[in-house]
Amino acid sequence: MTPKITDFGLSRYFNENQSRAITKNMSGTLGYMAPEFHSGDIYTITYKSDIYSLGVVIIEMLTGKKWYPAYPDVDDVLQSWRNKLGKSPEDTQLKQIRLCTELGIMCIDGNQANRPDTSHIINRLGETGNTCIVAGVSSLIIPQKGLWKIW
């Protein structure tokens, strides 16, 4: 799978050497905002808040529905995709779906300290190779002098 969604907006408030912000003004879309936004009158925003939103989007893309309030079951997500793609459990696409589901669940952890950082997410996404799912067909992605060429 090839990630195409980046930056959920909160990081633009940070200076280069800043890792968190504290505010009394909360704004965002319910369901995409991290649980720490609902914890009191003063809200601490970190990059882990964006990671939470990324997890919600990953899970919605994999399941086709909003996940809240229950965590998705990895095996249920895989079975759904196995039925759609007609693939065996050992198929590379299903391994990518498993990995993305696991990452999505890690990203929506209620404790922001347990959420992965971006380097962990990128490293994990690289574990299953450079193929992606496009309308049920595997496509090979090859970097070409700074650009990505898709077949």
Query: Which CATH class, in words, describes the domain spanning 10-150?
Result: mainly alpha
Long-range contacts of 29-32 (CB under 8 A, 24+ apart): 31/56, 31/66, 31/68, 32/8, 32/56, 32/57
Opening angle at CA 123, ends 48 and 45, nearest 5:
5
Query: Per the structure block, which two tokens stand in for 10?
Result: 């909160």
Band (pLDDT 50/70/90 cuts) for residue 103 is: very high
Average pLDDT (91-105) is 87
For residue 45, count CB atoms less than 10 angstroms from its CB and return exposed for 0-12, middle for 13-18, buried for 19 or more: buried
φ, ψ (nearest 5 deg) of residue 142: -125, 125
φ, ψ (nearest 5 deg) of residue 65: -150, 165
List pLDDT tens digits, range 48-82. Answer: 888 998 999 998 888 888 766 567 788 888 888 88
pLDDT at 16: 66
Q: Look up the pTM and report it.
A: 0.68
- Rounded distance between C-alpha atoms, residue 116 and residue 107, angstroms: 6
Residue 106 contacts residue 114 (beta carbons within 8 Å): yes
- Bridging pattern class, strands 147-150 and 43-46: unpaired
List pLDDT tens digits, range 3-22. Answer: 555 555 544 555 667 666 66
Annotated domain spans of the chain: 10-150
Residue 28 contacts residue 52 (beta carbons within 8 Å): no
Task: Determine the 3-state secondary structure of 58 from DSSP.
Answer: helix
